[in-house]
Amino acid sequence: MKAERINLMKKANVAYLDQLIEDFKHNGEKPSKIVIGYKIYSELMNDTTFSNEVLHSALDASKRKYKKLKIKISQDEFQLKIE
């Protein structure tokens, strides 16, 4: 289990997140939100593309979005899921 978390942490970048979103759409589903673990969110915020879009999407942190999808920060450190 710990190895899976480390692997997700290594590949959790903006390109990987974008690919997850595209895969979700490709399967005919319409995504409404991104559930991100707090450690992965922290890593993603180090990417200027992600952080600029998120920070400029809304003044209220609870209403921030990425690619028009709501962001929900999870207490699970390494969670990354599209719903």
Please state the domain extents for the chain: 2-82
pTM over 0.75: yes
Position 48 scores a pLDDT of 94
Q: In what order do the strands lie in the sheet with 80-82?
A: 65-66, 69-74, 33-37, 80-82
The neighbour count for residue 40, using CB atoms within 10 Å, is 23
Cα 28 to chain centroid, rounded = 20
pLDDT tens digit sequence for 32-65:
999 999 999 999 999 999 999 999 999 888 899 9
Cα 13 to chain centroid, rounded = 9
Cα 48 to chain centroid, rounded = 14
